[in-house]
Structure 1
Amino acid sequence: MLAQIARRLATAIPSIIGVIIVTFLLTRVLPGDTAAYFAGPAATPQAIEEIRAKLGLDKPLPVQFVAYVKDLATGNLGNSLTTGQPVLDDLRARLPASAELTLLGLLLSILIAVPLGILAAVRQGSWIDHLCRIVATAGVSLPVFFTGLLLVYVFYFRLGWAPAPLGRLDFFYSAPPDITGFYLIDSLATGDFETFRAAFSQIWLPAVTLAIFSLAPIARMTRASMLAVLASDFVRTARASGLKPSKIVLGYAFRNALLPVITTLGMVFSFLLGANVLVEKVFAWPGIGSYAIEALITSDYAPVQGFVLAMAILYVLLNLAIDILYGLVDPRVRIEA
């Protein structure tokens, strides 16, 4: 297993190097002038040139790239011109907010989509099967930002069941002690149930938005994979042997159908990291997605490069986790590897 992990990490190094090069080049061709933006509309050309020289943007691209790689080698992602803080500190402070929202949205979608896909496969052609198709079609058809705005309109503006979409906590509450960075877990760990209730009231609506977005692929893959396994010979033999239907479906069929579902979960999680950018803007969520958007608007290179690099590393770790799960679910994967 350790050798497999080492091989996967080794194959990911060229991908990360490619991400660094492409991100650096793309940020330099973006429209807008960083020096002119931060100098202000009343700045003179001389003042703009001084800021450009201070930022190192007057140097040739190869020189800028070498300096950027040297900073990366020492763990320095640069400073954000917008916040005035090191990009690494900004990402470290904002990543738990994005991770908590993404993981909760994925958990909600799994709790709904997997049982729905199993029932749709077991009762093919029934109303549950038709419901699964409707949910899958709706989840694919609705843009995630439109779903978020619609939920805000219904549950906040019309019904009043949700608080104003203004971040992780209401202004009347303070953040719990920083243990994991996840407000729900930290408030429970410290026994602060009032803060837990306030944090949950703020997060459930954006989490539902992400869950609706990710329901479709998980439900469809679970249904398709279960249908393929239920039609196999060993399932028919198990039925002929008189085993309980629940034992056949959950103990044999579902476990053999898990590998495609796990692959889909990995893809959906990566999609959610991208969809987070829009959801965070709709709900004023202080995560790394909104941080990257704000930096992109102001042509602030360092946060954009740090954001893309962080996403690339997260994707590598995600693929590694999927490979490990493959071995845990199906021992034959470990033997073949």
Structure 2
Amino acid sequence: MSRPSTLSVVIRRIIAAIPSILGVIIVTFILTRALPGDPAAYFAGPAATQEAIDQIRETLGLNRSLPEQFIIYVGELLRGDLGNSLTTGQTVLSDLLTRLPASLELTLAGLLFSLTLALPLGILAATRPGSWLDHGVRVLATAGVSLPTFFTGLLLIYVFYFRLGIAPAPLGRLAILYSSPDQITGLFLVDSLLAGDFETFQAAFGQLILPAVTLGLFALAPLTRVTRASMLSVLSSDFIRTARASGLAPSMILFGYAFRNALLPVVTTLGVVFSFLLGANVLVEKVFAWPGIGSYAVSALIASDYAAVQGFVLTMALLYVVLNLLIDLLYTVIDPRAGVES
């Protein structure tokens, strides 16, 4: 039986994701209407009269029944309109497009830091099972996931900024003395390099280190554990014993055969961890004043800003679908036998 083409895999994954996205739209719409508070009263201000509040509620369409509001909301979604945010006064789409690169840059940096540690530590632990190194790696990974991200962030700020003075102030993506690079990708590190502005690159990199390490330490445990378990399973397999008996170099056996075959579970975990970090880095963004979509969603929740909350949840759902699709396609690169036939 022939393996499906990449295009057919993409089409099947998109079709399979449609019910999930519809479910997200319905559930989010219902839950946002159950939030405490009145967005019309918040928008009108504390000194507004009841008549003014009622007028705003009518303007926002909140005086209509829930079915009518839902039909209007779905119609706007089909036109690509996510509505306007009450807290910023801008369209939700423009707010998300402005803030999403900040969250992506932070999450990718944290994930890169975590991978840099998790893969070598997992491989070392798997090659020496039961040793002091193996136990030390497991303790380190457990400690990283046991500490809340906000506590880790505050601790890093206290040590490296307040006590040692070697880290910049946790005031967002750039210090006030620097201006943002010309937006190409929205990622400050990439845009500053493309513009040849190495001073801004250095400043943006300095601001990114502590929040990225905070996220990376939290993601270290699952990636290290999965790498270790997957490598242990592969190293005990028959083809590895055959390779050793054939006299192949240990480095070739470890990285050319064992690590490649152990990558599939690691990639699966990597996708799950990335999705989780992208949606759960709100505490890190608050601690470091990072202008991402997580802090934007919190502000919207406090203000009962329906459109902003719905836009945030829908964006996260779409990102999760795209990420799962990329993981499925990456399977075939790592191991063509995977075939993603499901």
TM-score under structure 1 normalisation? 0.98
Q: In structure 1, what residue type is equivalent to 2:172?
A: G
Aligned 1:66-85 pairs, distance under 5 A: 66-85=71-90
Q: What secondary structure does 1:201 align onto?
A: helix
Give distance in 1, aligned partners of 2:232 and 2:323: 27
Deviations along 1:281-333, whole A, 9 cap, x unmatched? 11110111111111111111111100000000000000001100111111111
Give distance in 2, aligned partners of 1:121 and 1:202: 35
Give distance in 2, aligned partners of 1:262 and 1:208: 21
Give distance in 2, aligned partners of 1:154 and 1:127: 29
User: Which of 249, 258, 263 lines up with 1:244 in the alignment?
Assistant: 249
- Which residue of 1 is the match for residue 99 of structure 2? 94
Closer, same or farther: CA 67–119 of 1 in aligned 2, 3 Å:
same
Give distance in 1, aligned partners of 2:43 and 2:295: 20
Runs of 4+ in structure 1 over 3 Å off: none
Residue 155 of structure 2 corresponds to residue 150 of structure 1: yes
Shift of 1:336: 4.9
Give distance in 2, aligned partners of 1:63 and 1:105: 43
User: Which of 136, 156, 165 lines up with 1:160 in the alignment?
Assistant: 165
- Which residue of 1 is the match for residue 108 of structure 2? 103
Sequence identity (%): 72
Deviations along 1:175-199, whole A, 9 cap, x unmatched? 1111111100111111111000110
Deviations along 1:90-131, whole A, 9 cap, x unmatched? 111111111011001101101110111001101222332122
- Which residue of 2 is the match for residue 169 of structure 1? 174
Contact 1:39–1:48 at 8 Å: present in 2 too? Answer: yes
- Which residue of 1 is the match for residue 144 of structure 2? 139
User: Which of 268, 273, 285 lines up with 1:263 in the alignment?
Assistant: 268
Aligned 1:4-83 pairs, distance under 5 A: 4-83=9-88
Residue 37 of structure 2 corresponds to residue 2 of structure 1: no
Aligned 1:244-323 pairs, distance under 5 A: 244-323=249-328
TM-score under structure 2 normalisation? 0.97
Listed as ranges, the gaps of 5+ residues in structure 2 are: 1-5
Q: In structure 1, what residue type is equivalent to 2:233?
A: A
More divergent stretch after superposition (197-206 vs 147-156):
147-156
Give distance in 2, aligned partners of 1:139 and 1:2: 40
Contact 1:169–1:199 at 8 Å: present in 2 too? Answer: yes
Aligned residues: 337
Listed as ranges, the gaps of 5+ residues in structure 1 are: none
Contact 1:210–1:275 at 8 Å: present in 2 too? Answer: no
Residue 111 of structure 2 corresponds to residue 118 of structure 1: no
- Which residue of 2 is the match for residue 223 of structure 1? 228
Deviations along 1:132-158, whole A, 9 cap, x unmatched? 101221122111111111111111111
Contact 1:144–1:275 at 8 Å: present in 2 too? Answer: no
Give distance in 1, aligned partners of 2:82 and 2:340: 40
Contact 1:106–1:214 at 8 Å: present in 2 too? Answer: yes
- Which residue of 1 is the match for residue 208 of structure 2? 203
Q: What secondary structure does 2:86 align onto?
A: coil
Contact 1:24–1:305 at 8 Å: present in 2 too? Answer: yes
Contact 2:331–2:340 at 8 Å: present in 1 too? Answer: no
Deviations along 1:231-278, whole A, 9 cap, x unmatched? 111111111111111100100011111111111101110110122111
Q: In structure 1, what residue type is equivalent to 2:245?
A: A
